Amino acid sequence: MNILELKKLGAFDIILLALFVVYIVFPVPTPQWLVPFIDSPFGMLTIFVVTLSLFVYRSPILGILYIFVAYELLRRNHYIPPASPIVSETHYSANRVPQKIPTQSEKDTELQNMNPIKSATLEEEVIAKESPVGVSQLPVGMETSFHPANGKSSLGMTVA
């Protein structure tokens, strides 16, 4: 840094230079109301435009120092979201872990107790109950008075 460059700096530039150095050296926290604006695309664009304007309209020393200030600003920028509106009891019960987690064999036993194996299906029960002839009494062949009109059975055989 040249002495002539320091003499070219005005009072405003020296104040900015001092503020930038203080911000870099000391851990100054970012105000919480400003954090969402810095995290937004508009905030990033603003930081970029300020950097360019310091290089063009002020001293390049301020521009280079502001790059470090912008880096520290982004690094220190911690967004803490607002508290959840969920009631604390509901919040804890929703994330509650059961005291004892059952094993797979215990789950299988419980499911078998809820769904016992039936010996007969519903269809078999209805047929046994409603059919005129019991399932055990079904005849092998049954003689009927019905004969096909053309003398042939449905299988294509001639009926006598």
Range of the domain at 58: 3-76
Task: Per-residue pLDDT tens, the chain, 160 aa: give them.
Answer: 555 555 677 888 888 888 889 988 988 888 878 888 888 889 889 999 999 998 888 888 888 999 999 998 888 886 666 666 665 555 555 556 566 788 999 999 998 888 877 788 888 888 888 877 655 565 566 677 776 676 555 555 555 5
Residue 106 lies in a domain: no
Residue 47 lies in a domain: yes
The token pair that represents 136 in the structure block: 């055990």
For residue 88, CA distances in Å to 81, 85, 96, 117 come to: 17, 9, 12, 45
pTM: 0.46
C-alpha–C-alpha distance, residues 115 and 138, integer Å: 32
C-alpha–C-alpha distance, residues 65 and 1, integer Å: 13
Contact in structure between 69 and 24 (CB atoms under 8 Å): yes
Q: How many domains does the chain have?
A: 1
Residue 36 lies in a domain: yes
Residue 58 lies in a domain: yes
